[in-house]
Amino acid sequence: MRPWCLGNTTVRSPFRLRDGLVALSSSSLQGNLRGQEQEIAFRRLLGEHEIVELGTDETYSVGRKWRSALNKLGFLYPEIPLAAGVPQSEIGLIDMITPNGWRLIRADTVPAMQECFLRSLAAHYIPSALEQKYHFPVFSPLRHTLAIMLALETKTGESRINFIEMALVVQLTNSDDNIESIVSQVLALRERRMEATNKRQFDRQEREAAAELHNYKAPTFNDYADTNLRYLKATGLVQSKGRGVSLVQEKHVFIEALVRDRTIPDSGRSYFITLCRGATLPTDNQDSALIVLDDLLQQLERRGIPFDTTGKPTTTPADIAIIRHQIESIIAKLNEEEYATRQALEWQEIALYMELLAMNRRGKKTLANGEEIEIPQSEAPAYFEWILWRAFLAINSLNNKPYDARRFNIDQDFLPVGTAPGNGPDLIFEFHDFIVVVEVTLTDNSRQEAAEGEPVRRHIAEIAIQSTKPVYGLFIANRIDSNTAETFRIGSWFTRTDDKMRLDIIPVTLLQFKSFFEALFKSGNIDVGLIRELLDLCGKSRHQHEAPAWKRKIEETISNRIAILL
């Protein structure tokens, strides 16, 4: 038995596929991605948009694998095999963007993006007409996995599937396997692992045994499980639970309805058409949509949140969807506010993430509870913004809401989905009597000033013009280039009417900020006023020194304030 994979191990972060589609949509390469030269050109396009790293790729595999991933999920029209007996003209032009692909491009919120991935994965069956290599019944791996999680919940009260359970049980089963039997296998593996004194050794031995049994390479089980869990989370139906996933409780009624749909494509033609258009979901049906809506209203009622549907039409699924999205937005904001209040208790984890970013994102860190954390290389810029957002949430003195303080999107796990758009600052933290605008960058060479000097000053000036409170800029990088520091030391900006503004922008390294952040919590003196005091002290010395000396003075000031705290 070979393990199945929902996505593509080359593109493990599903949301990056949207970035690739956006780049492709305005390129002459759309519909022209086959052959060595075109694969090289596609890879170059992805590199120019900073979606992949440019470098040597003698096999041209990056462009080919990205194209394959987009074909497999129905975001680009795939090449229809002759054996499928379906004329290409009935489906669409090879490698052109499909209706579901355009829907993903136009999606401007995380829930909208997740719906595109959900429609894609709900339409994905194994084996499809593209994947004749599989030798087991046609089934939907998405519905199959959700059915197992529902059965686990019935049996244990919890829907969680751990990483090792996905790797060695779930992704090796299909619709011919009895669900109760699969649940028993999962629980048996879980029990054996709990009894093991060395969990890592146990996992390694179990993978090696599975590799020998199924005649497959041991690392592949982990690679596929990691990808499967990421793509499952991209649907918005599951969320992280330790080193695994559990069902999103707000979506429980929807998930049950989705799993009940056990129809399979009746022909290759219907499979490809549905894949490229996106599957029909339970909420596309009025009766099912009303059931889901009623459940959401009950969830709000249980949380004491009033919601009046009087006068809101519910005569079509589209009408119902408008109300449903409003309620889901309310629930998401409530969940995010609860998440924000928990950050003060997680300051040590926040500091470890900062350390990982300062270590060039390599390696892992182990939390006090034994859980390991790491930063995906391709997502490091997003994690930089995210961890600074969490740090200021932990200080717990914001006047603005947590979702107003960030400009990047987050998913149901409150993890970043991309970086903040370039038409404004990364983060805006409003306090009682002042505002801190935070800008971060991983650029640490001489290009730093060219890339950040003007945008950072412009963004902070725009906030300062609108604000009645003092506005501070906090620029954070792993290394502060002296040319960047000099630009911020001068700190001037002219408006369109040629009025000169003085901007207070303090450049600090991530390690400097981390040290001060940790000192606040270790001392128990978590007062946002201390941050303002630090910014004022660093700003006072800017007129007395040029950039190199000012940077040293900032370092000295931070060290002194830490010494006072501790």
pLDDT of 134 reads: 47
* Helix or strand holding residue 220 (H, E): helix 218-234
pLDDT of 131 reads: 60
pLDDT of 132 reads: 54
Distance CA 407, CA 425 (A): 8
Tokens 């593209």 label which residue?
130
Q: Two tokens at 362?
A: 């390599």
Largest CA distance in the chain: 78
Tokens 């950040």 label which residue?
452
Average pLDDT (308-322) is 94
Report the SS3 class of residue 39: helix
* pLDDT above 90 as % of the chain: 81
Distance CA 401, CA 399 (A): 7
Q: Two tokens at 80?
A: 């229809």
Distance CA 379, CA 372 (A): 17
How many CB atoms sit inside 10 A of residue 393's CB?
25
Residue 559 makes CB contacts below 8 A (sequence gap 6+) with none
pLDDT of 282 reads: 96
Query: Which region among 84-88, 217-221, 272-276, 538-542 has the lowest average model confidence (pLDDT)?
Result: 84-88
pLDDT digits (tens, 9 = 90+) for 417-460: 989 988 899 999 999 999 999 999 999 888 999 999 999 999 99
Which residues are bridge partners to 477 per DSSP?
441, 509
Interhelix angle 482-490/547-565, rounded to 10 degrees, is 80
Which residues are bridge partners to 417 per DSSP?
409
Distance CA 217, CA 212 (A): 8
CA distances from residue 303 to 61, 297, 334 in whole angstroms, order as listed:
50, 10, 9
- Checking DSSP bridges between strand 492-494 and strand 471-477, what pairing results, if any? unpaired
Distance CA 214, CA 423 (A): 52
pLDDT of 133 reads: 53
Judge whether residue 233 has pLDDT over 90: yes
How many CB atoms sit inside 10 A of residue 248's CB?
19
pLDDT digits (tens, 9 = 90+) for 32-59: 999 999 999 999 999 888 888 776 666 6
pLDDT digits (tens, 9 = 90+) for 467-492: 999 999 999 999 999 999 999 999 99
* Pick from 298, 350, 314, 147: nearest CA to 232: 147
CA distances from residue 379 to 52, 354, 392, 494 in whole angstroms, order as listed:
11, 14, 20, 35
Q: Is 547 left (phi over 0), alpha (psi -120 to 50) or beta?
A: alpha
Average pLDDT (159-181) is 96
Report the SS3 class of residue 327: helix
pLDDT, mean over the chain? 93
Residue 55 DSSP label = S
Distance CA 415, CA 408 (A): 10
* Pick from 510, 511, 507, 517: nearest CA to 553: 507
Q: Please classify residue 235 by burial: count the beta carbons closer than 10 Å to its beta carbon, then call 0-12 exposed, 13-18 middle and 19+ buried.
A: buried
pLDDT of 435 reads: 97
* Pick from 216, 236, 432, 240: nearest CA to 339: 240
pLDDT grade for 543, boundaries at 50, 70 and 90: confident
Instruction: Choose between 525 and 243: higher pLDDT.
Output: 525
pLDDT of 563 reads: 97
pLDDT digits (tens, 9 = 90+) for 120-136: 999 999 876 566 554 55
Give the residue range(s) of CATH 3.40.91.50 domains in the chain.
Answer: 341-565
* Pick from 44, 23, 30, 29: nearest CA to 104: 23
Average pLDDT (239-261) is 94
pLDDT grade for 85, boundaries at 50, 70 and 90: confident
CA atoms within 13 A on the CB side of 358: 20
Q: Please classify residue 294 by burial: count the beta carbons closer than 10 Å to its beta carbon, then call 0-12 exposed, 13-18 middle and 19+ buried.
A: exposed
Residue 69 makes CB contacts below 8 A (sequence gap 6+) with 7, 8, 10, 11, 17
Residue 61 makes CB contacts below 8 A (sequence gap 6+) with 10
Average pLDDT (406-424) is 93
Topology annotation, domain 341-565: Restriction Endonuclease (3.40.91)
